[in-house]
Amino acid sequence: MKQFAVLFAALLLISCGDSGSGADSAGTTDGEAFCEPLLKFCQGQDVFICQPDGHSVEFMKTCGATEACADGACACKPLCDGKSCGDDGCSGSCGDCADNESCGGDGQCVCVPSCVDKECGGDGCGGPCGGCDPGVECSPNGKCGCVADCTDKQCGDDGCGGSCGDCDGGIPCSDNGLCDCTPQCAGKTCGDNGCGGLCNGCLDLIYDDGTTETAYGYNTLPDTNPDRLACMVRFELPAKNMKLTRFAAGWMYGLFNLKVPFELGYINGSEMSCKIGDKDSWYNEFCQTVPEMIHKIGDFEPLEPYTYMEADALGDVTFPEKTVYIAALFDLPATDAWPENGMYVCPIDDSGDGGNSFMMPQYKDGDKTLLKASPFKDKDDNPGTTPFRIRVQLSQ
């Protein structure tokens, strides 16, 4: 079972209004406030913060040469100029190479010739894998003098890298080259038909058994604003362009039984940047994205555990990729119920009290910074799950 985590990073983008008098590291103005109290913002590479009275700003720091100032924070500046692949210097990637390519030291994709099990034909990079004797043709699978044979076959390999046909309705081809599987859908509304297809073209995915891949994060915002929490679960779908027709969740009330409205959305697998941890890492796989990648489905109130929202409430939602992350995003306002420094919750269990849902914020240089994402099972084998259930339908 692979641990998985997502670090959800977001910053509020608000600019101070023009005061007409200018502002520097100790700028002031009279009259109405000209900037939002405690808002951090950038001027060039310098970070400033609006003072609590909204009438002055204070210089905080200058971002380094390898950083970019954006939305009031210094962030790592990806270095991908002239590169099509490889490390961007910020734990991300400058791009991926094709299956038959590798990334060279100069950040360029290089074609890797392959002639494995081939006597002839191309090597995939414009070069040859050898040749056949005069008068002997090269087959599609790179063999000399191959003769296709589909005698008594409805499907499968023709022996020369070609096909004898495909079966209808998602029925798999048997070893003898016949489409002889009988779908088993009696008493089933959705699910595997036993022949590689789906009953009624739909599938229920239920992730609530303690093995769900789940993650946490929140925005770095002024203390006067609510913090946003993102709880995500990764789903692997059997096909592309599947429609979301049902959604349900387990315990969604959070700590202290707070019934917090949430936004439901999704992120495509290609919109996540992931890396594999080493033996010293607290994670096995680590992924991150930005809020702009979240495709909003709608705003909802928490329902009783495992009460389904149907297609008419969810709208027309089609997942273009087979890997999709379902995300529930909560704005958690400050209340007397929360501890002084804030306690952030993903509804990761069904105990009814959020007892396994605590996540403390991290601090750096006295400022609240991003949460370290929590795996669904940590290295001490402590479990936790965001219980999501979905139904997806094959597109017509």
Residue 390 has pLDDT above 60, yes or no: yes
* Confidence bin at 130 (pLDDT 50/70/90): confident
How many degrees, rounded to 5, is the angle at CA 368 between CA 358 and CA 222?
110
Please indicate, yes or no, if residue 47 is contained in any of the structural domains. Answer: no
Q: Which residue has the higher pLDDT, 315 or 28?
A: 315
- Report d(CA 49, CA 367) in Å as an integer: 12
What are the backbone dihedrals phi and psi of residue 384, each rounded to the nearest 5 degrees, phi first? Answer: -170, 145
Q: Which residues does residue 162 pair with via DSSP β-bridges, in sequence order? A: none
Ordered alpha helix ranges (H), the chain:
311-314
- Report d(CA 322, CA 236) in Å as an integer: 6
Q: Which residue has the higher pLDDT, 387 or 7?
A: 387
Query: Cβ–Cβ contacts within 10 Å for residue 48, how many?
Result: 25
Q: Which residue has the higher pLDDT, 207 or 292?
A: 292
Please indicate, yes or no, if residue 72 is contained in any of the structural domains. Answer: no
| Per-residue DSSP letter, 246 | E
- Report d(CA 326, CA 342) in Å as an integer: 25
Q: What is the pLDDT of residues 8-60, one digit of tens each?
A: 333 222 223 333 333 344 445 555 667 888 888 888 889 888 888 888 888 98
Q: What is the mean pLDDT of the chain?
A: 72
The domain tally of the chain equals 1
Residues 6+ apart with CB under 8 A from 244: 266, 297, 311, 314, 317, 318, 319, 390, 391, 392
Q: What Å distances lie between residue 339 and 38, 81, 255, CA to CA?
A: 21, 45, 11
* Nearest Cα residue to 40 out of 69, 6, 67: 69
* Position 4, amino acid: F
Place of tokens 């240089």: 365
Beta-sheet pairing, 285-289 with 5-8: parallel
Per-residue pLDDT, 296 = 93
Which of 233-242, 252-261, 320-329, 338-347 is predicted with the least confidence, judged by mean pLDDT? 338-347
DSSP assignment of 91-119: SSBS----TTEEE-TTS-EEE----TT-S
Please indicate, yes or no, if residue 76 is contained in any of the structural domains. Answer: no
- Report d(CA 198, CA 192) in Å as an integer: 5
Query: What is the signed CA dihedral for 380, 384, 389, 390, rounded to 10 degrees?
Result: -60
What are the backbone dihedrals phi and psi of residue 92, each rounded to the nearest 5 degrees, phi first? Answer: -115, -165
pLDDT > 70 fraction of the chain, expressed in percent and rounded? 64
Give me 300's structure tokens. 């909802």
Please indicate, yes or no, if residue 46 is contained in any of the structural domains. Answer: no
Mean pLDDT of 365-391: 50
Please indicate, yes or no, if residue 32 is contained in any of the structural domains. Answer: no
Contacts of 161-167 with C-beta under 8 Å, sequence gap 24+, read: none
Q: Checking phi first, is residue 200 left (phi over 0); if not, alpha (psi -120 to 50) or beta? A: left
Residues 6+ apart with CB under 8 A from 285: 2, 3, 4, 5, 274, 275, 276, 277
Residue 267 has pLDDT above 50, yes or no: yes
Per-residue pLDDT, 266 = 92
DSSP assignment of 41-80: EEETTEEEEE-TTSSBEEEEEE--TTEEEETTEEEE----
Per-residue pLDDT, 242 = 94
Please indicate, yes or no, if residue 208 is contained in any of the structural domains. Answer: yes
Which of 9-18, 134-143, 239-248, 279-288 is predicted with the least confidence, judged by mean pLDDT? 9-18
Please indicate, yes or no, if residue 103 is contained in any of the structural domains. Answer: no
Residue 109 has pLDDT above 80, yes or no: yes
The domain containing residue 287 runs over which residues?
Answer: 204-393
Place of tokens 């720091």: 61
Please indicate, yes or no, if residue 291 is contained in any of the structural domains. Answer: yes
| Per-residue DSSP letter, 226 | -
Residue 188 has pLDDT above 60, yes or no: yes
- Report d(CA 86, CA 94) in Å as an integer: 5
Mean pLDDT of 98-117: 88
Name the burial class of residue 288, with classes exposed (0-12), middle (13-18) and buried (19+) by CB atoms within 10 angstroms of its CB: buried
